[in-house]
Amino acid sequence: MFHATTIGITFESACRYGTFGRAHSIFEKAMNIQISDEGQLLTILCEGADIMSAGCIVNAPSDVGERISVGDKVLMTPDVVYIEQIPFACYISSANIWDRLSAADISAIAKPSYRNLFETCKEVESYLNIFGKSEMTLRPLLHDELNPLDFIGLGYGLTPAGDDFLAGMLFGMYFLEDMYGKSCSYLSEMIDIISKNLHRTGTISKHFLRYALKGEWGRNTENFLIALAKGEKDELWDAVCAKMAYGASSGEDELRGCLFGIKKYINDVGGDSFVYNS
């Protein structure tokens, strides 16, 4: 019998009203549950993982996935997530519920000048260029007039580098819209193009991008964006390192996307003639 320690608001909502699903994909420390024919996934994660709105962190051992098979039926209630075939039961009613900061909370953050924010982005980018391990295939595509169709599905793995980058780009622009209270036409344009071309990538990455299209980032991404806005170096580098530890290069690719999105927002809304330099 296991207990959830943290549960995302989307995961909690699915449990609150009760739903059935099936084990979609199983990894060493995570399991995706498909709860709709459209491919909506919820994720159960072992301790130490990042949390997103569609995730649930449980105190289960990392080998629990060895007892679960793709297709196993999953029952989700307000109190427990249950897989009959194992049996596996995880109590969720006492878990902390996580949701991304509201627009009002983000707006309350002390706002840096566009110039200071841009300079902080350049510092983070320099760090990534020295210590990063991201796929070099992204670099030639990074220019001011980026074509998102060049990125969707680009790369390897369950969430290709191009998709991670696009998710970060969306997160960066969404965050700045909330912080400065000014809409960004480039964000609207990217949402329209990406949402119409999700068929270009795989199921799991498509699921991740759907949340990114709504601005639903994870806790580590939120910590990074807040630290970037504050410009406090120690807090910022801790947040960068936490993101870079995620996946082979997924966290870094997302960070690069965040930086690109922030620069595009500044160009689009700030009125300063900044130009992206790869």
**Residue corresponding to tokens 């909330």:** 178
Task: In the chain, list all ranges with CATH 2.40.50.
Answer: 2-98
pLDDT band at 278 (very low <50, low <70, confident <90, very high): very low
Average pLDDT, integer, range 244-254: 87
pLDDT band at 274 (very low <50, low <70, confident <90, very high): low
Question: pLDDT tens digit string along 124-171?
Answer: 998 888 877 765 556 555 666 788 898 999 888 788 999 999 999 999
Write down the pLDDT at residue 60. 84
Distances (CA, A) of 12 to 33, 34, 190, 202, 273: 14, 15, 29, 25, 43
Question: pLDDT tens digit string along 197-233?
Answer: 999 999 899 999 999 999 999 999 999 999 999 999 9
**Spatial separation of the C-alpha atoms in residues 250 and 226, rounded to whole Å:** 20
Tell me if residue 101 falls in helix, strand or coil.
coil
Sort strands 55-58 and 41-46 into parallel, antiparallel or unpaired: parallel
Average pLDDT, integer, range 185-201: 96
**Spatial separation of the C-alpha atoms in residues 41 and 64, rounded to whole Å:** 19
Question: Per-residue pLDDT for 272 more than 60?
Answer: no
- Topology of domain 2-98, CATH: OB fold (Dihydrolipoamide Acetyltransferase, E2P) (2.40.50)
Question: pLDDT tens digit string along 41-99?
Answer: 999 999 989 999 999 999 988 777 788 899 999 999 999 999 877 777 889 989 999 99
Calculate the average pLDDT of the chain.
89
* Sign of torsion over alpha carbons 221, 225, 226, 232: positive
Structure tokens at 151: 């990125």
Please give the share of the chain, as a percent, with pLDDT higher than 90.
Answer: 69
User: E-strand spans in the chain?
Assistant: 2-8, 19-26, 30-34, 41-46, 55-58, 73-76, 80-83, 88-91, 96-98
